[in-house]
Amino acid sequence: MIEKASATNQCLVDIPPCEAGCTQKTDLVLQSQDGIRFGAHSTNLAAFSDAFPVIGSGIIANEVVKMTERADVVLLLLQLTHRQRWMRSDRIPFGLLQGLAEAAEKFFIPAIMEMCRVQMQAAVSKHPLDVFIYASKHGYDDIQDAAAPGTLDLPFESTLRRLKVYPSICISWLWRDEFPCTLKYCGQCNEMLPMLCDWIRTELAKMNLPSFTNAMNETCVSPTPT
State pLDDT tens for residues 41-79. Answer: 888 888 888 877 665 555 555 578 899 999 999 999 999
173 against 206, higher pLDDT: 173
Instruction: Average the pLDDT over each of 20-24, 68-72, 74-78, 210-214 and give the range with the smallest value.
Output: 210-214
User: Residue 80: which pLDDT band, with cuts at 50, 70 and 90?
Assistant: very high
Band of residue 104 on the pLDDT scale cut at 50, 70, 90: very high
d(CA 174, CA 18): 46
What string of DSSP letters covers the chain?
Answer: --EEPPGGG-S--PPPPPSSS--SPP-EEEE-TTS-EEEE-HHHHHHH-TTS--BTTTB-TT-EEE-SS-HHHHHHHHHHTSSSPPPPGGGS-HHHHHHHHHHHHHHT-HHHHHHHHHHHHHTTTT-HHHHHHHHHHHT-HHHHHHHGGGGTTS-HHHHHHHHTTSHHHHHHHHTSTT-TTHHHHTTS--SSHHHHHHHHHHHHHHTT-HHHHHHHHHH--SPPP-
Domain boundaries, the chain: 1-83, 85-147, 155-226
Q: Which amino acid is at 2?
A: I
Residue type, 96: L
Q: What is the pTM of this model?
A: 0.74
Backbone angles phi, psi at 225, to 5 degrees: -65, 145
